[in-house]
Amino acid sequence: MTIRIGNAPCSWGVEFADDPRNPGWRDVLRENAQAGYKGIELGPVGFMPEDPAILADALAEHELELIGGVVFRAFHDPALWDDVLDASVRTCRALAAHGAQHLVLIDSISPRRAPTAGRADAAEQMGKAEWIAFRDRIAHVAKMGAEEYGLTVGMHAHAAGFIDFEPELIRLLDEVDEKHLKICFDTGHHSYAGFDPVAFMERFIDRISYMHFKDINPAVKADVIAKGTDFYDACGQGIFCNLGDGDVDFARVREILIENGFEGWCTVEQDCDPTLPDTDAVGDAAINRAFLQSIGFT
């Protein structure tokens, strides 16, 4: 298997399944294929049909493979554990039904962390007992996905959650069994957090099972960090720019993957606000695909 390039519904602004701003799921599949991709993520569970037959027919119509799915829920909040577990089980079932490989876990945005996204020195930290319970909730879902559904589970650091900054991700990896939890590495969020994605990849490539390709506009990043801008407002301001236009060195990212024999999917994610008049999701998707081809990704 070689490196394959996919995309995700978040590049069409789909963050939550019930958001009335979402485009139609069939439109996302069609435009994803039109932009030159052969794979796509599930998006938030419930956005695409949970009836396997319906989704399988639509994927086949556009010659698309389902790559994986994301559980973007509040692992940090014990009061929302039932919601986290429900989304996790439903996502696992959907992925298993279509032979998809990657279950991605993301601690969603916390009001306690939102004002300090990108500022590790100012971010509130969990106490010991809270961290242990938080870690154990992640470990529970990771073990379920790996052992009960045969999925490859990756932790994804995300701005404004409690796994945002590099030391937090490393701490989690040190404390959760590697056979259950690997890394879904997002180049853009690592840069947003104030760390060097290339340096992290060079150090932890053996634990990276899946990649999210995202680029960061450095001027917008500096502005939103200085102002404590809400994550979704930052998306609307264009913090996630087209690949190659930001501060991530994708040529070196590719070299690291090739040098270490990485195989499988790398998925483009360009979070955006679909309601803004200048949003052109399919155009950006095509530009990102062309950029990746220009630096050697086929």
Amino acid at 297: F
CATH number at residue 118: 3.20.20.150
Provide φ and ψ at 129, rounded to 5°: -65, -40
What pLDDT does 1 receive?
A: 53
What pLDDT does 212 receive?
A: 98
Instruction: Tell me the average pLDDT of the chain.
Output: 96
What pLDDT does 231 receive?
A: 82
Q: pLDDT-derived band of residue 246, with 50, 70 and 90 as boundaries?
A: very high
Owning domain of residue 198: 3-294
What pLDDT does 236 receive?
A: 86
In angstroms, rounded to a whole number, what is the distance separating the alpha carbons of residues 218 and 227? 14
Assign 3-class secondary structure to the chain: CCEEEEECHHHHCCCCCCCCCCCCHHHHHHHHHHCCCCEECCCCCCCCCCCHHHHHHHHHHCCCEECEEEEEECCCCHHHHHHHHHHHHHHHHHHHHCCCCEEEEEECCCCCCHHHCCCCCCCCCCCHHHHHHHHHHHHHHHHHHHHHHCCEEEECCCCCCCCCCHHHHHHHHHHCCCCCCEEEEEHHHHHHCCCCHHHHHHHHHHHEEEEEECCCCHHHHHHHHHHCCCHHHHHHCCCCCCCCCCCCCHHHHHHHHHHCCCCEEEEECCCCCCCCCCCCHHHHHHHHHHHHHHCCCC
- Give me the number of domains the chain comprises: 1
- What pTM, to 2 d.p., does this model score? 0.97
| Interval 18-45: pLDDT, tens | 999 999 999 999 999 999 999 999 999 9
